[in-house]
Amino acid sequence: MSYCIQPDCSKPKNPPTVSHCQCCGAELLLRGRYRMIRALGRGGFGATFLARDELLPGKPPCVIKQLRPSAEAPHILDMARDLFKREAKILGMIGNHPQLPRLLDYFESGQEFFLVQEYINGFTLQQEVKRGGPFTEAGVKQFLSEILSMVQYVHDNHVIHRDIKPANIIRRDQDKKLVLIDFGAVKDKVNPAQAASSDQTALTAYAIGTPGYAPPEQMAMRPVYASDIYALGVTCIYLLSGKAPKDLNYDPNTGELMWREQIHISDHFAGVLQKMLEVSVKHRYQSVEAIHRDLDLEPYMESLAQNMAFPSSGSSAASGYSNSYGLVSGPSTQPGMTPSGGSPSSRMAAAIRARRERSHSDSKSATSPGLGRNGAPPPRRVTPSATVLSSEDVKQKYTKGRRDFSLQTFKNLDLQRTLLAEANFNQSKLPSANFQGSDLSNANFGRANLSRATLRNAKLVKAYFHYANLEGADLRGANLARACLSNANLRGANLCGADLTGALVSDDQLASARTNWSTIMPNGHRGVL
């Protein structure tokens, strides 16, 4: 289908090959190459579309964000053009991170401005919660361990995102990694001190973030880096409770979000969230590293340090789409560009380990056993939950909408012929588990222990096994089409009769497993390596 982007067009849907809209006559091939397929979202100042680039082989999908200035006065158009160019420059600068948007193209056409970004295939965290229910405390800590390093990278580049929320975080279907989106077109480069002018308000009034997720100083158009930390805190509350800010009460005297009674988490984690959600910027966390330090996220960081490392240049990245736009240049006092030596995750993990080693050394020299420097109690360590779930527990919780079983320990798990599509078993212990004949499509088994597990005839289409231990697992007849098995341990795994069409797996991995003439290899052909 070809979609007409003219806002006044009453019948925007057209046949896929026509060059002009059959209703209003507008040209359908933008810049001679981009054909709109459908609208993803519209606002007062623009719209977002799914499109195809018809000049590239395969006509790959992309996302096009359109900014249409609300006024036709020349000075408004000039200001919009200037802001647009600076916005595109920042998007190009931060696009080195594999989990942040990469700008593909930008241009002006007919006094309208367009940004072209890569399309992300996956579900937003908002969609995950609506489909699968709230996250566990361990699941939210896993989320924080990944998203915080991305936010740190953004802040290191003098940028404040200003619209962090569940709808702007996509779990990429390809590798199950989170992608922070909504780095859209021109939004807020206007000096807040000058924002009172009606002309500039025309471009900036809509650019203050999402009510409920944006803190007071941001709503007053004076955002700081800690504004993103507040939005992350509200996002955590949503993930834990399934309730948006508008569905929660506020303290009429302080303006604080009243969330504590809605969720069941440890007191220590609640204290961290409370500090992220401080209405006063002065009392809120000022940096991402401070959150890492208080949460003690090293068990999660060590896993993510390998998953998230990326080269200093030339790295391929993807971007998503959103209904709104949100990006603002931060204060000049923030540290400079992220150095090329390692990812933010790996550096943070190293810093946490170094602090722990110093703390351990101090505790040895303290006068009282078990105490730190000057006799003070050592920092409290938060460890993943050790809850043991039974087969019936998993079935009941899944039936009630829960999908997150990450960081759990299972014994004698028997889930034959069970629907568990999109379940999250990231880093869970599942030795000898029986999933024979089960539907585990799109399930996440990243870094899980599945040694000697039975997955015979299981549906594992697009399942994620990055760094999973599948040693000795029975995968005979399993459908692993387009599954991600990168760095998984397949030593002794039985893949006879399995379908690996399009799966991400190396020849060395397959050589360590058992295959036969009926195994369908990633190239779609049957046979042994």
What are the tens digits of pLDDT across the range 40-65? Answer: 877 656 788 999 999 999 899 999 98
Residue-level pLDDT at 312: 36
CA distance 308 to 169: 16
CB 203 within 8 A of CB 80: yes
Task: State the catalytic residues.
Answer: 163
Higher pLDDT, 299 or 321: 299
What are the tens digits of pLDDT across the range 69-118? Answer: 766 667 777 777 777 777 788 788 887 788 887 889 989 887 788 989 88
| H-run or E-run covering 179 | strand 178-180
Residue-level pLDDT at 72: 64
What are the tens digits of pLDDT across the range 428-443? Answer: 999 999 999 999 998 9
Residue 354 neighbours by CB distance under 10 Å: 10
Write phi, then psi, for 52 (nearest 5 degrees).
Answer: -125, 140
CA distance 343 to 197: 42
What are the tens digits of pLDDT across the range 212-256? Answer: 999 999 888 888 999 999 999 999 999 999 999 999 999 888 889
DSSP string of 400-420, one letter each residue? TT--B-TT-EESS-B-TT-B-
CA distance 129 to 239: 7
Residue-level pLDDT at 189: 34
What are the tens digits of pLDDT across the range 373-422? Answer: 344 444 444 444 445 788 998 998 888 888 888 888 888 899 999 999 98
Cα dihedral value 232, 235, 240, 244, nearest 10: 150
Return the structure tokens found at 320: 């998503």
Higher pLDDT, 392 or 344: 392
The average pLDDT across 489-499 equals 95
- Alpha carbon distances (Å) from 179 to 65, 119, 164, 232, 344: 17, 11, 11, 14, 15
Return the structure tokens found at 22: 């059959």
Strands 257-258 and 61-67: unpaired
Buried b (16+ CB within 10 A) or exposed e, 377-403: eeeeebebeeeebebebbeebbeeebb
CA distance 325 to 203: 11
What are the tens digits of pLDDT across the range 181-196? Answer: 876 433 333 333 343 3
Residue 221 neighbours by CB distance under 10 Å: 20
**Is 279's pLDDT higher than 60?**
yes
Helix (H) and strand (E) counts in the chain: 12, 17
Residue-level pLDDT at 456: 95
What SS3 class is residue 244? coil
Residues in the chain: 529
Q: Which domains does the chain have, with CATH numbers?
A: 2-118 (3.30.200.20), 122-307+319-331 (1.10.510.10), 386-529 (2.160.20.80)
| H-run or E-run covering 410 | strand 409-410
